[in-house]
Structures are given as C-alpha cells and as structure tokens.
Structure 1
C-alpha cells in the first residue's frame, strides 16, 4: 500500500537546554493545520532518532539557533528534509525561517517540504516495486502449468507489491474459483460470475477500487474486510487484494496490480497457445503415421541453421529404399535433390504450403517424378518445422491439406 497522509510525520527538534514541553504554539498548529503526527526530541537523541527512523519521517524541524545541532541533524538525515526555525545558516538545510516571519510562513514551508519528500518517497517506492515485479515477471511467464502461474502471481503480489491479503481466482465454466490465496477460507469462496466484486470485475473487464466494502452491495467478503482492489487478467480471472482498513488502497496500487495482471494473462495465453499447438501436432502426427503416401517430418534443431531432425513414415521407407530416420543432421544429408533441399530450407518457418516437382529413385530402381508439398507447422518457439508429402506427379488425387 502506498503512503498516505496518515503516515505524515514531522520530527520537532529542541535544544537540550530548552524548557517546557516542546513549543506548543508551534507543535499544535503543525498537528492541526498539516494533519501531521509530531514527534519531539532533544539534542543528541534527535540525531540518533533520525539516523535510525529516517524512512518514517517526512521532515525534521529544528527550533534552535544552535548551528552544531543543525549540522548534526543534516549529517544524520539521510535525505530527510531539515527546516530551521531560527537564525541559523547551516549548509544542507531545506529552508531557514526566521521567527519574525511567523508561524504561518513556517507551516507553508513545512507543507511544501513534506509534499516534496512524499513525492520522492513514492517515486523510490514505485521504482523498487517495478524492479521487483520485473524479477517476478520472468518466473510467471516461464511457468509450465496454470497452477504454477497462479502461485507465482500470488508470490509477486505478496513479495514484490507487499500486499498481505491476496487471492488469484480463475473463471471455470460460469464460476470464479480461487486458485491461490493468503486469505482465510471464509474470504475466498468461489462464486458465480454474476456475483460479488470479483464477478463485477470480470464482467466489466475493469479494475474495481473499493474504499469501503461495507457500502458495496456486491460484496461477498466478511465484515472484517473494509477495502479492496479487484483487477481482471484478460478472460482468465481476477486478482483481488483486501485490507481490514477502509481507504487502504489508491490508484497507484491498482496500477501495479494491473501490471502484474498483464504478466499473468500473457503467461496463461502462452499456455493456451502451446496446448493448441500440441493438439495440432498430435493430429498431424496421426496423419503422418497412417498416411499411405510418403511423408517426411523435418524440424530445425536450432534456429537459424541447417541442422535438422528428420523422421519418415512407413510409406516413405517402403518407396524410397535405404531411407531411415535422421537425428541432428544437415538438410543436404537428408534429401538427395537440390529442389527438396531448397524447398525445405525455405519453408520451415513459412506461413503457407508450397509445392515443387522432384525426381527420386524408388525401390524399383527407376527414377520417378513426385509432387512434393511442404506444409510448415506453426511453432511457439524460434525453431521451424514442416511436413513434406510426396505424391506421383501424374496422380490427379488432391493433396491433403495439413493446416
């Protein structure tokens, strides 16, 4: 979750010798006007506090003309802006406001310093999250199963984006079914796509940022959950994060989840494509094994390159004697004619079939003309592959389409 106004903190630094409870005429307006949490420290202890808890502080205000104290704060600040209310002129301070300029001028200066510090903190936080997300992206897109994609997505939401309560759900038939979650079972029940904030997210295809779940008529969450961000990932499902506090998320949180959702959708889309290709390859393989005419399968071992893996069916081996399956050989070692070599070399990564007439010696010892149709097979990786179908050139029967 991004830092918001409730995390605004001002450290008021007093000299060791000061009396009283910390300049109430200044501390009070800071708390009231800026809505800031104010912490008061004195002297040396203020430097130690800033050094240890600097990331939690938006601004340090020094109510002192002690240059040594100001220098101590600047040295320990580690990026925390330091404002001086006094007449000191130490290097490295954000601003020096002299007392005769008034408390209102001081408040304006503090407000500007806090806003600048929060913008910088948000930028640092955003860059850190983007870096962490990019590291998870390779793990998500490299998953080999749907379950792995869901688990890696959940890990990215928790580890990279620091969301405590998260669920990754898939649409199965007409139901949204949680597949990975850090929530208690009562909060990640499956639901129909017409139900809940998850259903609304899926139906609309739009991110839902809900500041107060109790006011949302569609909610299916328990009463303990008060706010949520719900993000669709394509046609596949929904990622949801929730909090027990209202207004816990902002647009930046939603944007990070949308980036994560894109990685998840792409990974699942790749798995769909690979499943379709496997199905097509299985169909082609059945055709390959049973077809009564010679058929040869050629697949590149690496791309680009001339080395291939070659397999032939029974008809090929029967009609063309002394031909056998070849593994990791050059194209010219597989095919005896230039026409075959050129056709397969050109068509392994083509988009449509191509034909040529070739002359081959058969088991009878005679040379016969064959029409060779080379059909490229759609590939998911960098290597190309194709099937070659041989029919007699004078055969009027149609060539069987493979794709």
Structure 2
C-alpha cells in the first residue's frame, strides 16, 4: 500500500534491534522493520530495496551513526534519518543536528520511547513524502511550462516573477534570469500599464480567470492576448503576439466596410436613369471606397472603347479618345475581347503599352459585354487580389444597372410599339384585367370607340360586360370569361354584343395574359353585322329558291307529265300532222323546267369551298360535254382557285356548251389565266356576241339560237355570284366570244 512505511533498523545489538522492531510494528500497523547489524549491511539494503526511513544507533563497532549518515546522504540526500542511541549527550545531539539528521532520540527505559519513536518515524516520513511530491509537482510543472508554446510567466502573491519561459522573456526584452524574482509592477511602464495592472489585480481579488486583448506596453505597435489564471500562491499568465491577427481583422473590417459601402452603391445605382449617371457613380465609388486614384470606365461603341467617365486625377491626355477593340498590347481592349478580369502587377514587363509611361500596374474588368472598367497605379504591384475582388463586386453592380437601363429602354420602346399597335388595330380592341372574376376595362382603342360608341373615359375601370353583353347573354359571357381566365385562346367565335346603336354581330378573338397571380386579357371584336345580314338575306333567298324549285318541279312537271302521257296515247290512236308540233312544244317545256330548276339550284350561296386545280376541272368539264369535233386549248399556267369543285365544273360545262352551240361543232375553245387580275377566261373562235348584247347576255331567256332556252349563261352568272366572283363578257375586236371570271 502507498501509506506503508519500511524502516531500516541499524544496530549492532541484535536483541535491542529485535525489541525495537517488535514494538514499532506493534505500535503502528503501517511500519515494517528491516533489521541490519552494521552500517555496511544497511547501505546494501538501501541499495536493494525501498526504504522510507532509517533508524540508526550511534555507537557501533565499524563506524558510528554520524559517519553512517554521511554515507547515506551520499546516496539519498533527503531520506529521513533518525539517530536512536543510548549514548546521549548535548555534544552528540548538537553534532547530529549539524550533520543533518532528521531527528534525534535517546534510548531510555520503558515502552513509551517506542511509541515516541514510531510517531517520530511517521512524521518524518510524512514530511519527506510531502516534500518529494512537491518537488515532483514542481518538476512536472516546469516540464509543462517548458512545453507551453505561448509566452508564459508566473508571479507569486507579492507580484514576484517565479517563472518565465524564453519566449515571454524575449518578447519583454529581458533574459529569463534577469526577470526571476523581480516585482512585475516595477517592470510596467509608467504610462500604458494601467490596464494590465487592473486585470492582474482583478484576478487576485476575485480569484477568477481574466482574458484581455491590448496593445503591448513593452513592444509598441504590437498586440497581445493575455489569459490570467489565479491560484492560491499567485498568477499564471499566458500571452500571444496577435499583431498579425489584429492587422488581419482590421483588413477584414476595412474590406467589410468597403463591401457594405459597395452594397450602398448598389442601392444608389438603382436610382440612376441613364448610362452616364451609372458610369459617373462607378468612378465615384472607385475613388472614395476602393481608393483608386486613377480609373476610367469605357463603353464599346462601333468597335471602339470610348471613355465615359474618368477620375479627376487622370490626366486629360492620359486615356485614348477611342481604342480599337482589336488593338495590340492594350489591356483594356484585351479585357473586352476575352471577357476576363485581369490583375497586372507590372504592365511593362507583361508587354502592355499603357496610356501613360508612368503607369506601372492595373486592374482591368469587363463591364458585361458593353465596356471595361480599369484602374491603374504608378507603382509596380499597386493592386492585390483583394482590390481585384472588390472592383469586380463594384463592376457587377454597375453591369446589372446598365442591363436594367437597357432593358427599361427596350421595354419602353416595346410599350410604345405595343401602344401604337393597340391604337392602330383596325378592329375594336379592349384590354382588361380580371377583378373577382369580372373583366374590368383598362383601355380601349379608337376603333372600339367607333364600333361601340363609348369613349375611353366612360368605360375604363368599369366592368366590361356591363356595357357589352346583351340581355339574356350573361351565361354565355361568363363561360367566355372562364375560358380566358384559364388561358384558353378563343379564335373567331361569333357573338352578339351591345353597342350604343343596338346589338351587332362580331367575331370574337381573345388573347389571355397571365402576369404573376393576375389574369389579364385582350379581346378583338371584328364587326360582321353586314356580312351576317347578307348571309341571312341569302339564306332567305335560298329558301325562296328551294320553294320555287319545288313548285316548278311539282306543280308544272305533273301537268306536263300528264300532257306528255296523253299525247303518247293520242299518237297511238291517231296519225295527225298536229302531233309533232305538240311533241316539240312539250319537249321545249321540259327543257325550260330543267333549266329553271338548275338556275334555282346554282343560285344558292356556296358555303363550303376548297383549293381546286383549275386545269383538272377544265379537263373534266370538257369531257362531260358533247364536243363532237371541237378542240380545247388549255394554258397550263392556270392557278389553283378556292371553289366548290362540282359547281365550278357545271359553270365550265355551260360555257363550253354555249361555245359549241354558237361557234359550231368544229369550234376551238381556249381557257387561260387573266394577265393583270386574279381569274381566268373562256373564249371561242365563233362569230362572237353583238356589241349591243354584252350587257344583256347573262339575262334569263337570252339566246341567239332557235332551240335555246336562254338560261345557260344565266346559270353561269348564278354560280359565279354564289362564289362571290364576278363574270363579264368582253369585246375583243375579233370574231369571237370571250368571258372573263374574276376570282
């Protein structure tokens, strides 16, 4: 156990030694006695095993106890040594104390002496162990102090320096030996040491650690961080030279301040309304924030870098009036071409030709694709990476501002173009925004005012449907609004809308627009009232033609059929010269009915058309007509027309029949395109049409032959007009008939 005490008893009297050992082990259970008869044996035992205390007699044969002490001290200088002797005198006691014995005890009668001896042994060992532990603690602390990389020193409660490492001594400007034992207060300068003194005093009084950063009072210009730890016997002080850190922090604060200032510039540049203001602000910021004395901002114009703003310290002739983008040995031109920032520490060594020979270094940064910012210095290495980064930050703000100005200019131009387009759209147009599901008018164009009769002031900011939707059409309007809000475009939907003159027909076209969460739209109204009136009129006309055709087909054909049947019966019973004329009259009536029915049918409006090859239809119509020996001359350059193919074929068949009937079976018929107008012509080489008859040739009943019904050309005109075309009979100055159809 750690508290056991091994005692070496050295006495030449074995009985005394045994008795002493017995009593010691009986009195204290901590003591174990090792008995030796001579000092020589005692030294051997001391060398061979752990001994905590020596108890020795004085008078022994080989040597006395004091000489034995001297031998022990040569080996163990601090081991407790008690002289326990029966030969006692003041002289021996004095000599023993002078020799350095731990204790001196004279042998007397009785057992009490052994109790006293045991007590002396325990006290001596306890003190020795405490001193050894203190020495070891000091050694460990010293080793710890020596391993400390910080500057370190320790002071006692009287402010005396008890330890200082080499680093601390060097920083303070003294040697270690010079400082040990010195009063630290006397080392402080008379001025400037108050803060350190107060910190140490606070640590002493409150027994709490103190940390502070301060300028060194021993090394002007240096900063130290001190950590003061109090203990019962004084203070331990660690300190570091933090000058570099403080300088870096100062640089960081300065850079942070510049960055904050540059962000303020970003806020200011938003208020600029022109490129010139932005360039001027860039140079102002470069001078005042980045501390660039000589700088300029150039814009790219027509292949040149043109200065837009320069610092006041820039010489008037120090910048080019215009630098070509392809210029050699020019840093700004190279920056614009490569779109890369550059930091050049020595312009001349890098092979550049600066505007002034005294310019030695530069930073050059592209302003997007519109220009270059450049700062120069008359010193080599006048800029570092931090300068470049801050300048790039400034240029980033400037670039964004220039882009904003450009965008706003383009936007204003686009708005102006749109406004002009809006105002000049020939159809009624309204712009609106949906508010709680209802379209509210934002603007209308002049055509809207003309079409509906309401001016801008009376309708803007009011619900559009309140003005335009006729009574009974509210649900239809709501469905249209829902489709527009959902982003669905409406193309050409026929609707009725209220105007100041009443309800009119319109084609509706919508353009939905989504702006953020706002639903907006544009609607164009094409007035088709006249067209719809014409269509309704034509529908009524077609209905009357159908009714007329029904009457002709039923009320005339039935009696005609009866007459024809009776004539057949009469002819079977009688042979009379009256019968053939009757038959011819009935046949003529049949032909007239067929032509009238055809005229009624072909007069209907054409509702569905498509792209038709005129060449192909001409060939088909010619094949459908009995042309006998007549010839067709067809121009292959005939166009494609938009028509009802079946009715166009009937039109051509009638013209071909008309040509053969009037020009003869060996006629030549020509079909070709018109030269100066859209359309085609049909001509024959017959006798032509009398000049007085050109105006009446298309009327019902017109015919120049005895057997004709006079409906052929009337049917042609009906088919032409049903397509929305025009037909005319043209005088050619030659013996021929020529009809021109304008499509």
Query: Which band: TM-score by shorter chain?
Result: 0.5 to 0.7
1:314 aligned to which of 430, 434, 446: 446
Q: Deviations over 1:250-300 (max 9, x none)?
A: 111111111111111111111222222222222222222222210124589
Structure 1 pair 129/304, CA: closer, same or farther in 2 (3 Å)? Answer: farther
- Residues of 2 paired with 1:372 and 1:306: CA distance? 18
Q: 1:94 aligns with which of 198, 207, 225?
A: 225
1:265 aligns with 2:399: yes
CA–CA separation in structure 2 for the residues paired with 1:114 and 1:262: 34
Given that 1:306 and 1:330 are in contact with CA atoms closer than 8 Å, whether structure 2 keeps it comes out as no
RMSD: 4.2
- Secondary structure at 1:163 match in 2: coil
Distance in 1 (alpha carbons) for counterparts of 2:490 and 2:317? 62
Kept in 1, the 8 Å contact 2:508–2:523? The answer is no
What is the CA deviation profile of residues 324-358 of structure 1, one whole-angstrom value per residue up to 9, with x for unaligned ones?
346972555886455499479949xx8xx833756
Question: Which residues of 2 match residues 199-214 of structure 1 at below 5 A?
Answer: 199-214=333-348
Q: Which aligned pairs between 1:305-384 and structure 2 lie closer than 5 A?
A: 310-325=442-457, 329-331=461-463, 336-337=468-469, 339=478, 342=481, 346=485, 354-355=489-490, 357=493, 359-374=496-511, 376=513
> Is 1:65 aligned to residue 187 of structure 2?
yes
What's the offset of the Cα at 1:177? 0.8
SS of 2:295 mapped into structure 1: strand
Q: Deviations over 1:75-107 (max 9, x none)?
A: 9xxx98534669xxxxx94259xxxxxxxxxxx
Match of 2:360 among 215, 222, 226: 226
The change in CA–CA distance for 1:118 and 1:309 in structure 2 (over 3 A counts) is: farther
**Take 2:430 and 2:410, find their aligned partners in 1: how far apart are those partners?**
22
Question: Shift of the alpha carbon at 1:305?
Answer: 12
* Deviation for aligned residue 1:365: 0.9
Aligned to 2:331: 197
The match for 2:617 is none
For structure 2, the 5+ residue unaligned runs are 1-169, 172-185, 198-211, 228-238, 470-476, 533-607, 609-743
The 3 A distance-change label for structure 1 pair 217 and 326 is: farther
Residue 256 of structure 1: aligned partner: 390
| 2:213–2:226 CA contact under 8 A, matched in 1 | no
Partner residue in 2 for 1:150: 279
- Aligned residue number for residue 215 of structure 2: 82
Specify the alignment match of 1:181 in structure 2.
310
When residues 207 and 311 of structure 1 are mapped into structure 2, their CA distance, relative to the original with a 3 A threshold, is: same
**Within 1, Cα distance between the matches of 2:441 and 2:394?**
38
SS of 1:366 mapped into structure 2? strand
Other structure's SS at 2:379 match: coil
Please give the alpha-carbon distance, in whole angstroms, between the structure 2 residues aligned to 1:81 and 1:145.
50
CA distance in 2, matches of 1:220, 1:70: 51
Structure 1 residue 304, shift from structure 2 partner: 12
CA contact (8 A) 1:84 1:93 kept: no
The structure-2 alpha-carbon separation of the partners of 1:69 and 1:318, relative to structure 1 and needing over 3 Å to count, comes to same
What is the rounded CA distance, in whole Å, between the counterparts of 2:416 and 2:427 in structure 1?
Answer: 19
Q: Distance in 2 between matches of 1:138 and 1:334?
A: 46
CA distance 1:272–1:370, change in 2 (3 Å):
same
Structure 1: how far apart are the matches of 2:278 and 2:436?
30
- C-alpha separation between the residues in 1 aligned to 2:361 and 2:459? 59
**Aligned mate of 1:160, from 285, 289, 294:** 289
Give secondary structure in 2 for the equivalent of 1:215.
Answer: coil
Give aligned pairs, total: 308
Question: Contact 2:258–2:290 (CA<8 Å) still a contact in 1?
Answer: yes
Aligned to 2:262: 133
In structure 2, relative to structure 1, the CA distance for the partners of 1:95 and 1:245 (3 Å cut) is farther
User: Which structure has more RCO (C-alpha within 8 Å, separation ≥ 6)?
Assistant: 1
- In the alignment, the residues of structure 1 paired with residue 276 and residue 461 of structure 2 have an alpha-carbon distance, to the nearest angstrom, of 38
Shift of 1:313: 2.0
Question: In 1, Cα distance between the equivalents of 2:378 and 2:437?
Answer: 58
Deviation, structure 1 residue 173 = 1.4
SS of 1:282 mapped into structure 2 = helix
**Cα separation, 2, equivalents of 1:333 and 1:323:** 15
Q: Structure 1 residues 238 and 361 mapped into 2: Cα distance closer, same or farther (>3 Å)? A: same
Whether the 8 Å contact between 1:335 and 1:341 is mirrored in structure 2 is no
Taking structure 1 as reference, are residues 330 and 361 closer, same or farther at Cα in structure 2, changes over 3 Å only? closer
Change in CA separation of 1:304 and 1:339 when aligned onto 2, cut-off 3 Å: closer
Residue 94 of structure 1 aligns to a residue whose secondary structure is strand
Retained in 2: the 8 A contact 1:169–1:237?
Answer: yes
Over 3 Å counting, the alpha-carbon distance change for 1:73 and 1:330 in structure 2 is farther
Task: Tell me: CA distance 1:291–1:174, structure 2 relative to 1, closer, same or farther (3 Å).
Answer: same
TM-score of the superposed pair, with normalisation by structure 1:
0.64
Contact 1:170 1:237 in 2 (8 A): yes
**Relative to 1, partners in 2 of residues 1:177 and 1:73: Cα closer, same or farther, differing over 3 Å?**
farther
Q: 1:73 offset after TM fit, Å? A: 7.0
Partner Cα separation in structure 2 for residue 305 and residue 177 of structure 1? 54
Closer, same or farther: CA 242–280 of 1 in aligned 2, 3 Å: same
SS in 2 for 1:374: strand
Cα deviation for residue 125 of structure 1 reads 0.8
Contact 2:366 2:372 in 1 (8 A): yes
> Partners in 2 of 1:270 and 1:225 — Cα distance?
34
Are 2:224 and 2:243, in contact at CA under 8 Å, matched by a contact in 1?
A: no
In 2, the alpha carbon distance for the partners of 1:304 and 1:124 equals 53
| Cα distance change of structure 1 residues 187 and 227 upon mapping to structure 2, 3 Å threshold | same
Rounded Cα–Cα distance in structure 1 between residues aligned with 2:483 and 2:253: 53
Within the candidate set 301, 304, 307, 1:172 is matched to 301
- Which consecutive unaligned segments of at least 5 residues does structure 1 have? 1-28, 31-63, 87-91, 97-107, 397-403
1:15 counterpart residue number? none
